[in-house]
Structure 1
C-alpha cells in the first residue's frame, strides 16, 4: 500500500460510529430500557416495574468488560449461553424458511444477470434495546427492495454493549420470504473504540479437547434463531502471526460446523496473515487465506480500479468466484451523493468486476428530518435503489448508478397460493378489509409482503402517473399502492415477476378502490418472458370491472388462458382526466384456502402496568403468520400485533371501565389472507 492512499478505513469509525453501535450506547432510547435485560435485574422489584419486553440478543465471546454497563445494556457471555436458558428465544426465532429465487429476463439492457451481486450492511437499531418483534412507531427502516439484495448483514455491536449481534426475527422473516440470507455480526472493535485484544483471543480459544467452543456456540445460535451465518469483522490491533493462525483455524472450524446447516461466513478485509490490522482494500497474498476459509469477503472502501481487477483475477486463480468479493461502498453519510468509481466495479462495456457491498443504506431514512413520514422514506429508498426515473425499465443517467441499472432483479413468486396486500411492514394504522382495526403506528417487518421487485414499471403512450406506496389507506396491513395522475391514455402498471403455474382453476382477486375519477381496470397476465433484456412483457388483459369509491374485490378467472406458466402480472387502467386509484390486494390461488387455528393460547407472564407475554401452539399446516387481538366486552376486536412466531409481547394495555379480565384472541393467517377461527384466553386485571 502506497503512502498516498489511506492505510485503514475511515468511514466506519467516523462520526457515524455511535449510530452503527461502535461506541457504547447511552442515549435516551437506551435509558428507557434500563435494567430490562440483566439476569436478576428485576429481583426485589415490584411486579408493576418489571420490564417484560424481549430484545434482540448480543454477547461478548467470554470475558466481560470491567465496571458496569451503561443504562439499557446488559453484558452476557456467549460461552455461557444455551437455548434452554434464553428467556427470549421464542420471540427472536425466525420461522420463515429461506425461499428459492429465480432471475427473470432483465427489464433493461444495462442490468446483468449472473454477475455482480449486492450485500447490504444495515443497522436497524442500536445494539441494546432493539425490540424483538417491532414496536409502536412507523419511523423504521422498512426496506423493500429485496430483489436487488443477495445478503443482508445485521450490523451492530459495540464495546459498551456486546460485540456479537444476532438478527431479530422480523428482519430474517422478511428477508427469507424474498430469498435473502441474513447473517449476524461479530465486531472486534479497535482499541480507540474500547476494543480489547482479549475478546479476539476469547473468540478463537480452544478447549482442552482442541475444540473451538465459541464456534460451536455461534452455530448453535444461528440454528436456534433461524438465521444464516456470520459476518466476521476483526479490527482490534495488537495481534501477531500466532493469533492470525488461530483466527484462520477458527474460521475453518466455524465453516465446517456451519456447512451442514447451510450457514455462511463473510470475512471483512481487516486482519492480515501476520496478525496486524491493515486494511488492504483488495484481495491479495496478505488476506487470501481468510477469504479461502470463508464464503465471501467484504473489501474495505478505498479500493481502486487496479485493486478490483487484481482481486477478481486472484479469486479466479484460487478457483473461487470473483463475485464472492463485495467491494465496499459507504453510503452512510451521503447516500446517492457518494462519489463511486462505478466503471471500476460495474464497467459499462464489459462484465462486472466484483460484487458490491453497501455499508449503511439506511441513510435513505436517517438523512430525513425528524417528523419524517413513511411516504418520505419510501420515496427516498425508491430513488436509491431504482434511480431518479423511479422506473427500472428506464434507467436513470447521472453520477449515481442505482442498483436497478446494473444488477438483475430476482423473485421468489413461484407457487400458489400467492398473496400480496402491498404491506411494507410498517404503518400509521392497521387495516383489515379496508377498515382500521388499530389506530396505533407500528412496525413489524416480518408481516411485510413479497412486494413487486421492479418499482415501478409503467408503460403508457400518454402522461405517466405517479405510483407510490401510500399509508393514508389500505385494504390490509398498513399501506397500499396509489396511482395518481391524469390518464390521457391507458396505463399498464407492471407488478410481480412470477413463475406461477396456470390452470383452468386459477383465479386472481384484486382489492381496489377509486379515490377520485372513474377507472376501468384490467388484469394483465404474461405467459412468456421477453426474448431479450429490455424487451417488454406481452400481456393478455382480462376485465376486473370499474373501481368504485369504496374498497371492493374483483375475482378474475384465468380459464380462458389455458395452461402453462404465468411470467408476469400487471394491471391496465383506463380513465378520463385526473384519477386517484388504489390497489390493496393481489391474491392468486387455484382453490379456496383453508387455515387451521392455533391452540392453547395462554398468558405466560403479566406485569401490573399492562405488559403481557403470550404464547400458543402452532396451527397444523401452512400458516403465513399469526395475529393477536384484544376483544372488548361488546365483541369489538382491536389488533395488537402480528408475528410469524408462536409467542408475542404487548404493552400499554389498560382495563376498560368495569372490565375485570382482559380477553385475547390469536388467529392464523394464510398466504392469501384467509383467517382461521380464534384461540382465546383471558387474564384478570
Structure 2
C-alpha cells in the first residue's frame, strides 16, 4: 500500500511473513488462524480456441536480495510480464518462505500461480531436514507395539498438513522443495522423503485445490548425496514422480535439454503421467555456470530448451539481476532499470538498437544469433476470463511517486517514492515493446504509423501511473490522407462466445494544432493470422463522456456470436482489445505526432436486462487503539486499527405494479451481486470544534489497504499521520472504496469514524 510517511511499523504489513525453523511453524500452527480475506483467489486462464497444450511453460523464481525488500516508502523491484508466465516462486533463504500477500494478488489477477519455498541449506538445517520427514516428536514416552527387524524410516504427514494449511490460510498455490544438504540417512532418508512429497501433494490438493503444485529442485539424489544433475535422470527421477514438476539446476550443457526430453519419453507411461512441459529447465539470469552467460544472453539457453517446438518448460532464476546488479552504479534510476528490464523481457522494439552480447566459452559448442528477448520464446496468455474475475488495470507497475484518485493528486511521496506490489496490474500486454499498430479500414494510407509507449508517474487516473502512447503518422500525398484511422492493440482478453461483456477505457488525448480526431474501443482476433471474427461492438453512450481533470471515458459492449445449440460448449476466444483512432488533418503531407494517455482499462460481464446490479456500499467503520510497541509522541495517540463492514444496496425502486396474487412478474427484478473491492483509500482530518462541518474532500490521504492481506482493515501507523494532527484531540477517518472494475465509490457510499486521541 502507498503509505504516507517513512519508517513504518511492521504491524502495517503481513503477519509472520516467514519461518526460520520447523519449530517456528509448529508454534504458529498451535493456535487457529483465520484465512486471509484480502488475497485474490487463484483463477485459471482460459482453455483457448486454436491453442495447443504441448508447448512449454515459463516459471519465474525471483530470488531478489533475500526477499521481503519491498517497502511502502521506497521504489523497489517488481515483476510486470505476467502474461508470459505460468507460475511464480517467491524465493528467499529462510526455512519457509511465504509469498507476501501483494505478490499473491498480483499473480492471481493475471492467472499465474504463486508458490512459496521450503529450503534446507548448510549443515545447521540437517536436523530440520530429518524432522520434516518424521514429524513432530511426542512429549510422552512412546514406541512401537512390537519390534520390527526390517526397519525403514517412516514418513509422517504432519508437516505436509501444516504447509498445506499455511498455503490455504495465506492464499497461495504450492511449494518449491529445495534440499541442498546431504542426507545422513542416505537411501533410507531419500526414499522416506519421496513418501513425504506424496503427502504434501495430496494435502495441498485437499487444502488448496487441484491446481496446487509441488516443484522439486534438482539437488539431492537417491543415495542422499547432494549432486546437482542439471537434468532429469534415473538418479533424481523418484523425487519427480510424486511432485507436480521438476526444476533443473542451471549449469547444464547445450546437449542436455534434448537428452532429457529423450529420457522422459523413454519412461514407461504406465508408471508416470508426466509431460515434457512438467520439466522446467533452469536458467540463471546472473549467469553462474549458465550456458550463454545469462544476463541479456538468456536467449542462448532458451534456444536449447525450445519451449515452442521441443516442448520443455523454462525456469528463469534471479530476474532481479536487472535491479540488483545495477542499483549502485552512478546515474542509476528507476527509469534506467525499467529500460533494462524491458530489454530482457520484451526487447526495445522495432528500430531500436539491439544490445551487444558478449560471447562466452560455452558458445563455442554451438552457434547463436543476435539478441532475443525472453518473450520471443513464449506466447502471450490473456488473463482469466473477465466473467470469472474482472479485468481492471490502471497501468501500475506496483511503484510510484504519487497517488491519484480520479485524476486528482492526493499524495506525493517524499523523495524515494513508494512500492505496493498489491497494486501491480497489467501494463497492457500488447503495448510492449511497441504495439503492432496498423491502418484501420484505410488500405491506401501508405507506410504504417509508429507507436511508442512510456510509463508516466507524473499523471494518472487511478493509482500512481499511466501509459503515454505517442503515435507518429507519416505524411502522405494520397487523396484520402486527410482522414486516416489507426488501430493500436493494448491488452489481450479471453471471452466466451454468446456472453456479453462491457469494456471501459479512461483516457486523455492531446491533438496538435491542425489536427482533430476521435478515439474508439475495438476488439480483433489476438492472432492476426486467424482472420476476421464477427464481433458485435456496441457503444454504451450512458457510460461515455467527460470526467474530472480532463479525462474522458469510453465504453462498449462486446459480444461474440454464440455457437448453435447442438454444439458443445465453445472454448474461449483470444482477442486483442485496443484503440481505433480516427485523425483528420489540415495538411496531410506533413508528419503528425500525438499522444494518448491511458489511465484505466476494464472489462467485465454485462448485467442482463432482466436483472439489476446491486451497488457496493461501505456500511460502518470502527477503530481500536493499538500503538506500535515502544511508540511515543503525539501521533501514537491516534494509531490503531481501522475496520469496516462492506455491503450493497439496490437502486431506488419505482412503483410496484402487481395485478394480484397470481401475477407471475416479480415485484422487482433479481439483483446481481455488486462488484467487489480492489482496495480502499484512507483519509484523516482533525475536528475543528463545535459547529464546524467536515468534508471528505478536505481530508488528507494517509494510505491504502493491500499490504497485510486482510480485507476491510487498515493499520494506522504513527508515521502515516500528518504533523498537523499532533495536537488534535479528535480526528475523523474516511474510508473510500475502489472496486475490482476500477470505479471509485461516491462519497455517499463511503464511511467515516471519529476517534479521540488516547491520553
TM range (shorter): 0.7 to 0.9
Distance 1:682 1:151 in 2: 44
Tell me by how many angstroms 1:501 deviates: 5.8
Tell me by how many angstroms 1:678 deviates: 2.2
Pair 595,549 (structure 1): closer, same or farther in 2 beyond 3 Å? closer
**Would you say 1:569 and 2:516 are equivalent positions?**
no
Distance 1:356 1:588 in 2: 31
Contact kept, 8 Å, 2:503 with 2:602, in 1: the verdict is yes
Aligned residue number for residue 385 of structure 1 = 345
Select the residue among 663, 678, 681 that pairs with 2:750. Answer: 678
Contact kept, 8 Å, 2:302 with 2:377, in 1: the verdict is no
Tell me by how many angstroms 1:312 deviates: 2.2
Select the residue among 298, 307, 313 that pairs with 2:247. Answer: 298
Tell me by how many angstroms 1:366 deviates: 2.6
Tell me by how many angstroms 1:429 deviates: 0.7
Contact kept, 8 Å, 1:344 with 1:353, in 2: the verdict is no
Moved more, 611-620 or 446-455: 611-620
Contact kept, 8 Å, 1:524 with 1:542, in 2: the verdict is no
Question: Could you say what secondary structure the match of 1:458 adopts?
Answer: coil
Tell me by how many angstroms 1:549 deviates: 12
Aligned residue number for residue 628 of structure 1 = 681
Tell me by how many angstroms 1:497 deviates: 1.9
**Would you say 1:601 and 2:654 are equivalent positions?**
no
**Would you say 1:661 and 2:730 are equivalent positions?**
yes
Residue by residue over 1:307-365, the C-alpha shift from the partner in whole angstroms, topping out at 9 and shown as x without a partner, is: 22232233342431111111000003652134733332118xx7224100000112233
Tell me by how many angstroms 1:136 deviates: 1.7
Residue by residue over 1:289-319, the C-alpha shift from the partner in whole angstroms, topping out at 9 and shown as x without a partner, is: 0000110110011223442223223334243
Distance 2:406 2:55 in 1: 42
Tell me by how many angstroms 1:175 deviates: 0.4
Tell me by how many angstroms 1:83 deviates: 7.3
Distance 2:619 2:347 in 1: 44
Distance 2:732 2:459 in 1: 28
Stretches of structure 2 lacking an aligned partner (at least 5 in a row)? 1-6, 144-154, 288-293, 357-367, 439-446, 475-483, 563-572, 586-591, 608-612, 648-673, 687-693
Tell me by how many angstroms 1:579 deviates: 1.9
Residue by residue over 1:357-413, the C-alpha shift from the partner in whole angstroms, topping out at 9 and shown as x without a partner, is: 000112233334357544443333222222232799x9x995444232121121125
Aligned residue number for residue 258 of structure 1 = 204
Pair 320,238 (structure 1): closer, same or farther in 2 beyond 3 Å? closer
Pair 568,642 (structure 1): closer, same or farther in 2 beyond 3 Å? same
Tell me by how many angstroms 1:433 deviates: 1.4
Select the residue among 623, 631, 641 that pairs with 1:614. Answer: 641
Distance 1:368 1:521 in 2: 43
Distance 2:561 2:602 in 1: 18
Aligned residue number for residue 275 of structure 2 = 321
Residue by residue over 1:505-538, the C-alpha shift from the partner in whole angstroms, topping out at 9 and shown as x without a partner, is: 86543322235625524324236564747x7989
**Would you say 1:359 and 2:335 are equivalent positions?**
no
Pair 52,135 (structure 1): closer, same or farther in 2 beyond 3 Å? closer
Residue by residue over 1:203-228, the C-alpha shift from the partner in whole angstroms, topping out at 9 and shown as x without a partner, is: 22235696332222111211111111
Tell me by how many angstroms 1:181 deviates: 0.8
Tell me by how many angstroms 1:282 deviates: 0.8
Pair 176,463 (structure 1): closer, same or farther in 2 beyond 3 Å? same
Aligned residue number for residue 282 of structure 1 = 231
Aligned residue number for residue 174 of structure 2 = 229
Tell me by how many angstroms 1:574 deviates: 4.5
Pair 506,346 (structure 1): closer, same or farther in 2 beyond 3 Å? closer
Select the residue among 121, 135, 140 that pairs with 2:72. Answer: 135
Q: How many residues align?
A: 602
Question: Could you say what secondary structure the match of 1:246 adopts?
Answer: helix
Residue by residue over 1:177-217, the C-alpha shift from the partner in whole angstroms, topping out at 9 and shown as x without a partner, is: 111111111111134xxx43112112222356963322221
Correspondence 1:7-22 to 2 at 5 A: none
Aligned residue number for residue 495 of structure 1 = 490
Contact kept, 8 Å, 1:666 with 1:679, in 2: the verdict is yes
Select the residue among 379, 394, 406 that pairs with 1:408. Answer: 379
Distance 2:423 2:619 in 1: 18
Contact kept, 8 Å, 1:629 with 1:641, in 2: the verdict is yes
Q: Which has the higher contact order (CA 8 A, sep 6+)?
A: 2
Contact kept, 8 Å, 2:118 with 2:178, in 1: the verdict is yes
Contact kept, 8 Å, 1:522 with 1:541, in 2: the verdict is no
Distance 1:549 1:95 in 2: 31
Distance 1:135 1:586 in 2: 25
| Structure ID, larger Rg | 2
Distance 1:289 1:455 in 2: 44
Distance 1:339 1:558 in 2: 41
**Would you say 1:465 and 2:462 are equivalent positions?**
no
Question: Could you say what secondary structure the match of 1:484 adopts?
Answer: strand
Aligned residue number for residue 478 of structure 1 = 464
Tell me by how many angstroms 1:680 deviates: 2.5
Contact kept, 8 Å, 1:113 with 1:408, in 2: the verdict is no
Distance 2:537 2:500 in 1: 17
Contact kept, 8 Å, 1:62 with 1:203, in 2: the verdict is yes
Aligned residue number for residue 705 of structure 2 = 642
Aligned residue number for residue 655 of structure 2 = none
Correspondence 1:332-347 to 2 at 5 A: 332=286, 335-338=295-298, 340-346=300-306
Pair 378,113 (structure 1): closer, same or farther in 2 beyond 3 Å? farther
Contact kept, 8 Å, 2:247 with 2:315, in 1: the verdict is yes
Residue by residue over 1:474-529, the C-alpha shift from the partner in whole angstroms, topping out at 9 and shown as x without a partner, is: 11111111112533275422022223368898654332223562552432423656
Contact kept, 8 Å, 1:465 with 1:485, in 2: the verdict is yes
**Would you say 1:95 and 2:39 are equivalent positions?**
yes
Aligned residue number for residue 213 of structure 1 = 158
Residue by residue over 1:409-459, the C-alpha shift from the partner in whole angstroms, topping out at 9 and shown as x without a partner, is: 211252355432222322111111111111123222222334433333232
Distance 2:369 2:49 in 1: 24
Pair 599,174 (structure 1): closer, same or farther in 2 beyond 3 Å? farther
Moved more, 250-259 or 200-209: 200-209
**Would you say 1:428 and 2:490 are equivalent positions?**
no
Question: Could you say what secondary structure the match of 2:378 adopts?
Answer: coil
Tell me by how many angstroms 1:546 deviates: 11
Moved more, 546-555 or 478-487: 546-555
Distance 1:593 1:311 in 2: 55
Pair 278,557 (structure 1): closer, same or farther in 2 beyond 3 Å? closer
Tell me by how many angstroms 1:149 deviates: 0.7
Correspondence 1:241-252 to 2 at 5 A: 241-252=187-198
Cα RMSD after superposing both structures? 3.7
Aligned residue number for residue 185 of structure 1 = 117
